[in-house]
Amino acid sequence: MKRLITRGKWKRHLAERTRSQAQARARFADYRRRRNAALARPAHPKKFHKTSRIEAPREFSLIQNPNEMIRFFKEIEGLAETRNVFVDMAGVSALTPDAIAGLLAAIHHGARTSAHFSGNVPKDGRLSDILNRSGFREYVTNREGAQFRSSFGKVRKHSGSRETMQTNFNQVVANDLVEFAVQAITGTPGPHGPSYSILGEAMLNTLNHASRGKDPEPWWASVFFDAERRRSCFTFIDQGVGIFKSHRLTLSLKLLEGLSILDNAQILERLFHGDIPSTTKIPGRGNGIPFMYNHHKANRIKNFTVLANNAIGGAETESYRMLRESFNGTILYWEIGE
């Protein structure tokens, strides 16, 4: 046996087998690395091949045309479940800045699927200029070589994902929006306490009240300068459950709502006027909307409007009404300036 092992043919056989086993181990190790890397990567969603065109309402305004706009946004999100979406805005004849933030929220909500979004701008050059310079273009893919200056407005977002480093209550974002608004009116950036406090309250409410689960719901905050009226217009949108599905309301009011003694428009009016106590029993908490309403009554802000679920209320006209359509979340709108 010893003599057999020392022969050259046997030595070559052992060496070849050793090399073969080493190569097999290397191939298996490489396979495991590639398999583990593939499992760690998110699966590539299947791309949709069909595209549906959806025509935007001619009056593109949430605060002035809420039912049509909410229905429009719902249709966008529904179509995005199964196909790509083309948003046709060519026929828009009136546009307000709150609806621009709402469109961004609807598009990004729909983009949670593999849908691709595209669209056009209003034929009215003044309205297309408003859209292109509002900050909207910072959150959509633009045609190659196109550049748009966000000189009329700013839009900021929080989603809790890697696409933003913002926290839910972001003092930097609030200051940035407020200073832009003041500079647009006066020529010099500066503070505006009521707007800063409204933004802070809204961000914290989204964190504490609006979430459907453990993860905080996304919010959008924007400011737009209306040069014709010399006003800066703020919009805050949270895509949570909305005021009337959150735990903000007291148990007694929820009971009245359940018994249909008060509808949501009447409850919203009571919220404006401070007739609903805080659920936390902590002084200074749960008073967000009454404080915002008081800022309006003191003429520190103008045109304060709240849209939540299926109700809308406006401090300017003291009007509170039910809607045919229901929005999943809450929208705050107010203006400062002349």
Question: Which pLDDT belongs to residue 169?
Answer: 58
CA–CA distances in Å: residue 59 to residues 41, 64, 95, 168, 247: 43, 8, 6, 32, 34
**Which of 60, 54, 74, 57 minimizes the C-alpha distance to 310?**
74
Question: Which pLDDT belongs to residue 277?
Answer: 61
Question: Which pLDDT belongs to residue 61?
Answer: 97
Question: Which pLDDT belongs to residue 68?
Answer: 97
For residues 135 and 156, membership in a common domain is answered with no
Bridge partners (DSSP) of residue 85 are 52, 117
Question: Which pLDDT belongs to residue 48?
Answer: 81
Q: Which residue range forms the structural domain that includes residue 94?
A: 48-139
Distance from C-alpha of 311 to C-alpha of 185, rounded to nearest angstrom: 32
User: Which residues have C-beta within 8 Å of that of residue 19, sequence separation ≥ 6?
Assistant: none
For residues 72 and 181, membership in a common domain is answered with no
Question: Which pLDDT belongs to residue 275?
Answer: 81
Which of 117, 139, 161 finishes a domain?
139
Residue 167 lies in a domain: yes
The strand ranges marked E within 133-269 are: 153-158, 219-226, 231-238
Residue 6 lies in a domain: no
For residues 104 and 167, membership in a common domain is answered with no
For residues 200 and 262, membership in a common domain is answered with yes
Question: Which pLDDT belongs to residue 30?
Answer: 75
For residues 169 and 223, membership in a common domain is answered with yes
- Asked whether 155 and 99 are in contact (CB, 8 A), the reply is no
Question: Which pLDDT belongs to residue 272?
Answer: 93
State the number of CA atoms in the 13 A half-sphere of 19 facing the CB: 6
Alpha carbon distance, N-terminus to C-terminus of the chain: 106
Q: For strand 302-314 and strand 219-226, is the pairing parallel, antiparallel, or unpaired?
A: unpaired
Question: Which pLDDT belongs to residue 210?
Answer: 43
Q: For strand 153-158 and strand 219-226, is the pairing parallel, antiparallel, or unpaired?
A: antiparallel
Question: Which pLDDT belongs to residue 284?
Answer: 42
Which of 139, 170, 189 finishes a domain?
139
- CATH code for the domain of 215: 3.30.565.10
State the number of CA atoms in the 13 A half-sphere of 108 facing the CB: 24
Q: What is the dihedral of CA 213, 217, 238, 254, to 10 degrees?
A: 10
- CATH code for the domain of 101: 3.30.750
Which of 118, 139, 160 finishes a domain?
139
Residue 294 lies in a domain: yes
For residues 181 and 305, membership in a common domain is answered with yes
Written as six digits, the tokens of 118 are 């595209």
For residues 121 and 195, membership in a common domain is answered with no
Question: Which pLDDT belongs to residue 265?
Answer: 93
Question: Which pLDDT belongs to residue 13?
Answer: 67
Residue 32 lies in a domain: no
Mean pLDDT of successive 10-residue segments in the chain (338 residues)? 56 71 76 72 66 96 96 93 94 96 87 85 94 90 73 83 46 91 94 93 68 59 94 92 68 61 88 72 58 94 95 96 93 94
Provide the number of structural domains found in the chain: 2
